[in-house]
Structures are given as structure tokens and as C-alpha cells.
Amino acid sequence: MRPNRVKELWRAGKPVLNGWCALPCSLSAEMVARQGWDTVLVDLQHGGIDEATALHMLQAISTTDAVPFVRPPWLEPGVIMRLLDAGAYGVVCPMVNTRADAELLVSACRYPPQGMRSNGAFRGVMYGGADYVQKANDEIVVLAMIETKEALANVAEIVATPGLDGVYVGPTDLAISLGHGPRIDVADGPIGEAIAHIRKTAHAAGKVSGAHGTQTGYAVQMLTEGFNFITPTADFRALQMGMAATLSGIRDKIPGARR
């Protein structure tokens, strides 16, 4: 089976830089993957990507050496298994709030006896190789999103789940759940402390930690503090900011172009 380069990077003590795709478009996914990200994640929760489009995006990402990741829409075993069958090498699952949630997630991602994943990885075998079924339990990365007050309270139990590789912070949902509204790129105060607590708890259990932000400086800080996996922006954000900046840049200079 094609080794999961993410695991190699982590074994070497290196961080993983993740490109985030929420636009339902295989061309933009291929373009993101061509920029050199270690992983490229296809987000099926927020962004309009359905499973059929996700398949095309995973194919597009697989034309590069970026490792294909997915965020399933919800903790639904059937959907998670299909995304793995489609060739995803990593799963970042939203709203894992309890130990039971984490165990269900792991079970959906692992073949027996570790889990209940069903055999039939049509594209997994094409992408991974003929020994995919034998080795997938060791190569596929499974991360649980910690993004509620409840999950925060249960994080030690969650990270102790056998077969779970680590956790991934969902910052805006966590902030909302903690009563602070949809804040992002926060490194201090109660939210910052919660995020640091998640990281430390994961590392104490020998698991990895992932962070999510929208500013390069924040991403650098999170990596410096020890996070192993970072999403510093997203396709739609780059698109929106680039288009808006160009437009206002012109309107600033050309008085007649002001609306």
C-alpha cells in the first residue's frame, strides 16, 4: 500500500500543512493540490460538496503527491466508509463530543477486528495498491474534531480512544459553544486556553493535534506551540479575499469606478 506521507512526516517530527477545499470543483481542488500542500482536505460538511463531487476532487488531488483528506458531513458511518473507499487517506470528523462518538468514528474507519468498516474500497485499492485491505488500518489517519463544550470536557477520554490518531480543533464552533460567538484565530483568553488544553491533552496521550485558522501569523504560532497539523486558510477564503482586494484596489484609484 502507498504509505501515508502524513504519518511519515509526523514520525519525523514535522508539521503537516493542510490545504482546505470547500468549493465543489475538481479543477480548483487540483489547483490547490498543485501549490505544494502536504495534505488537501475535501470538506463535505460546510461548502456544498456532495459525495459525487468529492470523488472527482479526490481523483484530482491524486494527480499530485498531496495526501487526500476528507471532512465527512457528520459522524455517519456509511458516508465515512464511502469516502474512505473513494481514496481518502485521512478523515477529520466533525462534532466528536464523547468517547462513544470517538469509538464509533474509529470503528467506521477500521476493518475488523479493530472496527466495522465494510470491505469494497474500489478506489482505495486503485490509489493505495493491492495490499490496501491488509494495511489500511495502519495507514489511514483518523482525527476527531473537538468543537463543543461537551467535547472539551471529554477530551481526555476521547484522545485515549484506541485507533484514533488525534484531534482537530474546530475553533468557531468551540467559541460559540463556549459562549463567545464565532471567533477565529484566537490564541489567548479562555478560547486560547481551551485550544492549548486540547493540544496538550492529545500530546499527553501520544496523539497528534490539529489547528484551524485564517491568518498566516496564527498558523505559525500554533505550529510553534506544537500543533502537528494546521489549516491556515481555505479555497473560498483565498478566492474571496483576492477578488475583493483587486476590486477595491481599482475603486480606490479610479473615482468614476466607485459604486
Q: 238: phi > 0 → left, psi -120 to 50 → alpha, else beta; which? A: alpha
CB of 97 to a second copy, least distance (A): 9
Residues 31-70 that bind a second copy (CB under 8 A): 31-32, 34-38, 45-48, 50-53, 55-56, 59-60, 62-63
Identity of residue 9: L
Contact in structure between 215 and 185 (CB atoms under 8 Å): yes
Greatest CA separation for the chain: 69
What is the C-alpha to C-alpha distance for residues 136 and 95, in angstroms, rounded to an integer?
24
CB of 193 to a second copy, least distance (A): 19
**Of the candidate residues 7, 73, 151, 196, the single one contacting a second copy (CB under 8 A):** 73
CB of 78 to a second copy, least distance (A): 3
Q: Which three cell numbers mark 125?
A: 485499492
Kindly state whether residue 210 participates in binding a second copy, applying the rule CB under 8 A.
Answer: no
- Per DSSP bridges, beta strands 90-93 and 67-71 are parallel
Residues 120-149 that bind a second copy (CB under 8 A): 120-123, 126-127, 133-134, 147-149
Contact in structure between 149 and 178 (CB atoms under 8 Å): yes
Kindly state whether residue 205 participates in binding a second copy, applying the rule CB under 8 A.
Answer: no
Kindly state whether residue 237 participates in binding a second copy, applying the rule CB under 8 A.
Answer: yes
- Which one, 127 or 165, has the nearer CB to a second copy? 127
